[in-house]
Structure 1
């Protein structure tokens, strides 16, 4: 039997189980990327892949080490492209 101060509310129990189970509400799951990509998507992915690299060492020498790293680096799991 339940304790006298406890009240069971069935509508709260139902809402707890109906919450979305995705990792993030803002981003779609990764399974939405088709295996057969269009040419435009493939071009965009290729450009983002080229941009996602460290800066060359000679840039550090040319700028007297004021630019030390690429501030726009992107990790494949943490930051998604959104297309």
Structure 2
């Protein structure tokens, strides 16, 4: 479908945000992050745009 550039830019940012944390971050000292709490599933949660 036809998208404006603004919409496409937002979709690109959200696609980049929607990935697991790198494995080396879990190995750091005093690390409490186990997984990306802000993962978004394309069918469950919509972006609202």
Is the TM value for this pair above 0.5? yes
- Which residue of 35, 42, 45 maps to 2:8? 42
Which of 1 and 2 has higher RCO (CA within 8 Å, sep 6+)?
Answer: 2
Q: From the CA coordinates, give the structure whose radius of gyration is larger.
A: 1
- The answer for unaligned runs of 5 or more in structure 2 is none
5 Å-filtered alignment, 1:14-29, equals none
RMSD over aligned CA atoms reads 1.1
- The answer for unaligned runs of 5 or more in structure 1 is 1-34
TM-score w.r.t. length of structure 2: 0.92
Q: How many residues align?
A: 49
Matched, 1:52 2:18: yes
